Chains A and B, each alone.
Chain A
Amino acid sequence: MSKSSKTGKDRQNREQIIRFLFFGVALASITTLFLIALFLFVEGIPIFKEVSVSDFVFGEYWYPTDDPPDFGIFPLIIASIAVTVVSSAISIPLGVLTALYLAEGASARTREWFKPVVELLAALPSVVIGFFGMVIVAPVLQEILDIPTGLNLFNASLMLAFMSIPTICSLSEDAIFGVPGELKEASLALGATHWETISRVILPASISGICTAVILGMSRAMGETMVVLMVAGGATMIPTSLFDPVRPMPASIAAEMAEAPFQSEHYYALFAIAIILFLFTLAFNVIAEQFSHRYRQIGAATL
């Protein structure tokens, strides 16, 4: 009797220890993230002693090493937004439609083959995609469209679309596949065609998951560095056409950070760009979270 209660206590203790262990691990990763964000702000804020926040965000000229320097990142912000929007225009239809096909149209066998292949796209290192864009796509674009340079907004967006399609497709497919079977069966039983079922029942039922997928895909495109550094061209001006070279925020940070003197104005300014970028991607993630919670479909009841 006493022995068994002792082992019971042992088991409880062990449970406690394991719980604390996991709590510790979770805490460590959260703390690390928090410290990174803190570091970002500590290193970025000092630039605002030199320039005001509005001059920094809406300034048109980025000449950080001139004397006197100009720290205006408006062209960089516009460039980031532009590549994200254009790449989404490519990746959202492709990603979502591929997901629909995989979940609804494809046979189980095709699906089994197709999905891992799409996900493999995500495994391609971004530097490889960047190199592909720079060496192969850029000269072809320039030749076919007869434009001054193939390193431009469009090329970068195309490469970024490659990178966000796996995210969008894979997550959307999970959402569509997760729609309860009885919804589909009921719709078909009422005489709706397969297409009517997809467009009026399955899509509305999985829209929150699809939105989450899309926003996460966009957030990936916005934060991506190597591709935009290699293929976006890097001109710090506000683009007037789809084929103008641009310099998104991550490209500027990556290109200049290595040689910016430690804790100089330039260094602080680069961290301040990182803060802005962080706020953008944070906003994307918060929105994605909102979508997945607020519009979540629970069973068939809420449709």
Chain B
Amino acid sequence: MISAQLNLKSDKITEEKMKIKGMAAPAFLVAALFAANMAWAGKIVIKGSTTVLPIAQKVSEAYMKQNPSIKISISGGGSGNGMKALIDGSTDIADSSRFIKGKEVSLAVKNGIYPVPFAVAYDCIVPVVHPTNAIVNITMAQLKDIYMGKVKNWKELGGPDRPVVVISRDTSSGTYEVWHKKVMKKKRVYPGALLQASNGAVSQAVAKNKNAIGYIGIGYMSKDVKPLMVNRIVGSAATTLNGTYPISRPLFMFTPGWPKGEVLRFINFLINPEKGQKYVAEAGYVPLY
């Protein structure tokens, strides 16, 4: 379709060239520039992590509003699928909630693709309890025991004699993924944990239950729930960025080779604190700056 349009343009140009000979050279130059521009405009394909998906969506919406000629197509599927797409060259940007693995790098290089990472945001998950709960600090080991079903009563943690109601997320969410990796060390959350399907629902359920403990992304923090310190460190943007808060991780976008053209412009937009990073905070994550 693009080539058809180009043909049409060049036909017009030829007509004009015949009419005014003196103008021919500059007109041709304009046409050439236009053609080059057309080739760059078009689609950016983004695939990968569902955790990074909300960021990609929000930023893309804003970006497409400013650059109506660009079409960005975004799909989820998980970090692994994003990497697969990066390796076989079927995506311009691969979202990932983890760094690329050695095996994936060698596979990509074998295909002549050199993956380039860009940290785009940080993910920070905070354990929350009911506002009346007296506990202020919890250790990673205690959190793990609670979610493995070993701690059944708040008494064991120095709280009142009340049962602990454990609230977790659906296993396919990115938030669960962080929790599973950082807190559970890949051990299983016990089957008796309650399930809620979103950050908002966890917050709601914790706010309504004195016995409950849950975990939410820092962007979803509200006054209805009380955040806990983990290993005596307050979960915040500052402690996430200086690396002291334990339940956090950087989120990445990988490009096949150093990005060029539209992809470069998109990445620049995304990591600009005045532009893309605003939407990172809006999506519930910690911006880079």
List chain A positions with a Cβ less than 8 A from chain B: 61-67, 75, 134-135, 138-139, 142, 148-151, 229-230, 233-237, 245, 247, 251, 254-256, 258-262, 264, 266
Contacts and interface: CB of A to CB of B under 8 A. Distances in A.
Contacts of B133: none
Interface string B197-221: 1000100110011011000000000
B191 A61 contact: yes
A65 B196 contact: no
Interface string B162-201: 0111000011111011000000001010011111110001
B259 interface: no
Q: Which of B177, B186, B208 has the most CB of A within 10 A?
A: B208
Nearest to B209: A149
B171 A233 contact: no
13 contacts: A64-B172, A65-B176, A138-B208, A138-B209, A139-B209, A142-B209, A149-B212, A233-B194, A233-B195, A237-B192, A256-B170, A259-B170, A262-B77
Contacts of A229: 197
| Interface range, B side | 20 to 34
The 10 closest A-B pairs by CB, nearest first: A234-B195, A259-B172, A255-B197, A237-B191, A148-B163, A255-B170, A65-B171, A236-B191, A261-B77, A149-B165
A235 B191 contact: yes
Given A75-B191, A230-B201, A264-B78, 9 more contacts: A62-B191, A148-B211, A233-B195, A255-B195, A256-B171, A258-B172, A259-B173, A261-B77, A262-B77
A132 to B, nearest CB: 13
B217 to A, nearest CB: 14
Contacts of B172: 64-65, 256, 258-260, 266
B196 A234 contact: yes
A63 B194 contact: no
B194 A259 contact: no
A163 to B, nearest CB: 20
Given A259-B50, A259-B76, A235 B195 contact: yes
A29 to B, nearest CB: 31
Given A139-B209, A259-B50, A259-B76, A254 B171 contact: no
A235 B193 contact: yes
Main secondary structure of the interface of A (DSSP, over half): loop
B165 A148 contact: yes
Contacts of A148: 163-165, 211
Interface in B78-112: 78, 81
Contacts of A63: 171, 188
B210 to A, nearest CB: 8
A139 B208 contact: yes
Interface in B27-84: 50, 76-78, 81
Contacts of A66: 171, 188
Contact of B208 (A67, A150, A258): A150
A18 B188 CA distance: 61
Contacts of B171: 63-66, 256
B95 to A, nearest CB: 13
Contacts of B163: 148
Given A138-B208, A255-B170, A256-B171, A261 B76 contact: yes
Contacts of B194: 149, 151, 233-235, 245
Contact of A134 (B50, B177, B193, B208): B208
Contacts of B212: 149
A27 to B, nearest CB: 35
A62 B192 CA distance: 11
A151 B167 CA distance: 11
Contacts of B76: 259, 261
Contacts of B50: 259
Given A139-B208, A254-B197, A255-B170, A261 B191 contact: no
A72 to B, nearest CB: 10
A281 B41 CA distance: 51
Nearest to B75: A262
A254 B170 CA distance: 10
B204 A134 contact: yes
B119 to A, nearest CB: 23
Contacts of B186: 67
A268 to B, nearest CB: 13
A74 to B, nearest CB: 11
Contacts of B211: 148-149
A72 B205 CA distance: 26
B198 to A, nearest CB: 9
A264 to B, nearest CB: 8
A151 B168 CA distance: 13
Contact of B205 (A65, A151, A247, A266): A151
A255 B197 CA distance: 5
B166 to A, nearest CB: 9
Nearest to B176: A65
Contacts of A151: 194, 205, 209
Contacts of A233: 194-195
